[in-house]
Amino acid sequence: MPRDSYRVKVLVGLTCLAAVVAIGLAIGRDPAPPKLDDSVRQHLHGWLERQAYRGLVAKVAAERRDGHGTYVTAALPLLLAAAVTATRAAGGGRRPRAWLPWLVVLLATVPLAFALRIAFGRPGPDEGPVHAWSQGAYPSGGALLVALGWIIGGAVIAWLRPSWRPAVIGLGVLALAVHLLARVAVGDHWLTDVVGSYLLAAGVALLADRLRPGRS
């Protein structure tokens, strides 16, 4: 990887992580949301209530409810990556063991997000103040899993099947957008909760990019 290219990724990655902290400090622990969060939620929730498929949207957004759409959305790219890996391994292709250091760094965002949720203590929609040492809503844990699933699964698939890269990127962007809209529309999270998780995953992935095999 050209040194200048990696420096740009480091700069963008640090900017993403700084944005995570800045958003968390800006929204604070006040149950009253910022105007942007409140406006987006009101518009999406009002639109959803008029749609016949609002039940489907709820399943897509579900984390603890029936459907578990959040976990399904996160798992799909990982399952596809596993299938592609198995196919290539059966044919004598490359084994992705070199990805382990990169994966370890990315998965470290899960306990990091847990710590941030306690530190910021941001109440979710229709919730009261978060007690000390309790988890808040920012950044969203479910959204982080979705982002990690598509970053990890998408990177492995693109490495093994380079011709699939445009399709994988397009599907990943669509999946993250649908997840964001669904979680906000059903009232599970504020817009900034989900955006913060996406920024956290993207920032760490960019900073750890030098550990990723087949990078470009």
Flag whether 124 is in a domain: yes
**How confident is the model at residue 87, as a pLDDT?**
82
**How confident is the model at residue 171, as a pLDDT?**
97
**How confident is the model at residue 191, as a pLDDT?**
96
Flag whether 49 is in a domain: yes
Question: Do 194 and 184 contact (CB within 8 A), yes or no?
Answer: yes
The alpha carbon of residue 139 and the mean position of all alpha carbons in its chain are separated, in whole angstroms, by 10
DSSP characters for 80-147? HHHHHHHHHHHTT---GGGGHHHHHHHHTHHHHHHHHHHHH----TT--PPPTTS--SSS-HHHHHHH
Flag whether 19 is in a domain: yes
- CB contact set of 89 (below 8 Å; sequence gap of 6+): 95
Flag whether 195 is in a domain: yes
Which structural domain range is residue 98 located in?
A: 3-211
- Counting the structural domains of the chain, the total is 1
The alpha carbon of residue 11 and the mean position of all alpha carbons in its chain are separated, in whole angstroms, by 20
Flag whether 78 is in a domain: yes
Flag whether 216 is in a domain: no
Question: Do 190 and 41 contact (CB within 8 A), yes or no?
Answer: yes
- Report the distance separating Cα 205 and Cα 200, nearest Å: 9
- CB contact set of 16 (below 8 Å; sequence gap of 6+): 199, 200, 202, 203, 206
pTM of the entire predicted model:
0.92
Mean pLDDT for each 10-residue chunk of the chain (216 residues)?
80 98 93 92 85 82 80 95 81 67 95 96 91 92 97 93 95 96 92 97 95 74
**How confident is the model at residue 109, as a pLDDT?**
97
Residue carrying the six token digits 């992935």: 205
